[in-house]
Amino acid sequence: MGKNLTSRAEDYSKWYNELVVKSDLAENSGVRGCMVIKPYGYAIWEKMQAQLDKMFKETGHENAYFPLFIPKSYLSKEASHVEGFAKECAVVTHYRLKNAEDGSGIIVDEDAKLEEELIVRPTSETIIWDTYRRWVQSYRDLPILVNQWANVVRWEMRTRLFLRTAEFLWQEGHTAHATKQEAVEEAERIMHLYAEFAEEHMAVPVIKGTKTESERFAGAEDTYCIEALMQDGKALQAGTSHFLGQNFAKAFDVKFANKEGQQEYVWATSWGVSTRLMGALVMTHSDDNGLVLPPKLAPIQVVIVPIYKGLDQLDAISEKVEPLVKELRAKGLSVKYDKRDTHKPGFKFNEYELKGVPVRLAIGQRDLENGTYEVARRDTLQKESVAADAVVEKVVSLMDEIQENIFNKALEYRKEHITAVDSYEEFKQVIEEKGGFVSAHWDGTPETEDRIKEETKATIRCIPLDAKQEDGICMVTGKPSTQRVLFAKAY
């Protein structure tokens, strides 16, 4: 196809990296581990943001903004939290540069050392709960339902575009409640909201569940998650929602007077999804020809390519196409008419395939004579000739069809890649050879979980929400178990 894209079968990881760069989503920057999100990639992220933001607001949340920097002492206040983040954080120690006296260039000015180091936020629980202490006095001040769109930094050693970068963009919700029940309900509500977003908008089927203790967020009492499955059989955690108990309220002394006038600690949740979703989107749907984007998130939903010899033919085509562009836009579609004379149709076909534009219309001399368009859908690569007066209706219905088709395709793949096993031998074989989720009994201990991880690289992705109660025995230790959990190798 002239795209020079490594195939998935050949090297899935290489395919992913090449695709992200070649389709103009993102690229590495000169700063270790930090990416540049290019306009085409950012346009998809903006669509994700807009939809999520709408869903957050519909469920009563408001946006706010908290400082980028976290004093070192704040991070230290919640014990397991600092444990989780101290090992990989960017530390600001000085606030000025100066010219070296020996003329060797610009150096850090040692006279401008901060009294207390500042951490570039890896997540904002600590700075936010320090703020909530000022916001909460009485039960009347609760709940606080706040979200923040922000950049965060975690100094990862091995980075990959979108999937794991030192800096990434995300949203982080931080809510404060008067009761445990309310906070748990909020954490669950958001898990469902994330799942709805992933399935309805990204067309990515996800499994909802809770994390085991060792996979929980640092500082959480319970972590709810949505887990997706990539085409190489590896799982990807797509979003998490944490019930934080009163841990941060206690660490930052956030109390409220209840209706009886007694002081109580506030209950908390936090939850986030990040630009990692971009990685999940690419890896779920795309193929060896390039991106496949769900119509609901595609920056360009329809591209129209004229096929012509000479500018007279182009003018005749444009006369037909321009009113069509208006009609399609009036239907709310994002349409591009690519009449660049500097590139051949074949080049353009390749480009829009690579970029995952859901529907491509082509119109040449014969179409002009017959009153037709060639309509090609990106997901199946099928083409058909459609009468000009039926093309708007066709394109509109294709938006829904493609959205549904790629979801079903991904769901089908996942169904084929959930394997129930009852022995550790079988487990190891499936993890190694077939991949995907493996449903198995486990004795509920971190020790067994660790052993499995060490021996197979598979981790418990979640305890599924819809897991049936079923008596069984742990595949490793033979101890009793009451439900299966889902294992997988994961991103």
Residue 489 to residues 15, 165, 234, 438, Cα–Cα distance (Å): 19, 19, 5, 10
Residue 226 to residues 11, 96, 192, 193, 416, Cα–Cα distance (Å): 26, 43, 9, 10, 19
Contact residues for 195 (Cβ-Cβ < 8 A; gap 6+): 206, 208, 226
In the complex, minimum distance from the CB of residue 288 to a copy of itself, in angstroms, rounded to a whole number: 25
65 part of the interface to a copy of itself, by CB under 8 A: yes
Residue 446 to residues 213, 296, 422, 450, Cα–Cα distance (Å): 8, 41, 19, 6
> How many Cβ atoms are within 10 Å of 452's Cβ, its own excluded?
23
Gap between the Cα atoms of 426 and 437, Å rounded: 13
97 part of the interface to a copy of itself, by CB under 8 A: yes
| From candidates 48, 70, 207, 362, binder to a copy of itself by CB under 8 A | 70
Task: Give 460's strand partners.
Answer: 487
In the complex, minimum distance from the CB of residue 62 to a copy of itself, in angstroms, rounded to a whole number: 4
Q: Which of residues 42-61 bind a copy of itself (CB under 8 A)?
A: 42-43, 45-46
| From candidates 17, 151, 258, 350, binder to a copy of itself by CB under 8 A | 151
Contact residues for 339 (Cβ-Cβ < 8 A; gap 6+): 306, 314, 318
118 part of the interface to a copy of itself, by CB under 8 A: yes
Among the candidate windows 41-49, 226-234, 418-426, 452-460, which touches a copy of itself by CB under 8 A?
41-49
| From candidates 15, 16, 56, 74, binder to a copy of itself by CB under 8 A | 74
63 part of the interface to a copy of itself, by CB under 8 A: yes
334 part of the interface to a copy of itself, by CB under 8 A: no
Gap between the Cα atoms of 156 and 123, Å rounded: 14
358 part of the interface to a copy of itself, by CB under 8 A: no
Long-range contacts: 92-101, Cβ < 8 Å, 24+?
Answer: 92/117, 92/118, 92/119, 92/120, 93/117
Q: Which of residues 88 and 400 has its CB atom nearest to a copy of itself in the complex?
A: 88
| From candidates 263, 342, 382, 469, binder to a copy of itself by CB under 8 A | 342
Q: Which of residues 36 and 381 has its CB atom nearest to a copy of itself in the complex?
A: 36
Q: Which residues contribute to the site for a copy of itself (CB under 8 A)?
A: 27, 29-31, 34-39, 42-43, 45-46, 62-72, 74-76, 82, 86-98, 105-106, 108, 117-120, 127, 130-131, 134, 140, 146, 150-151, 153, 155, 167, 169, 342
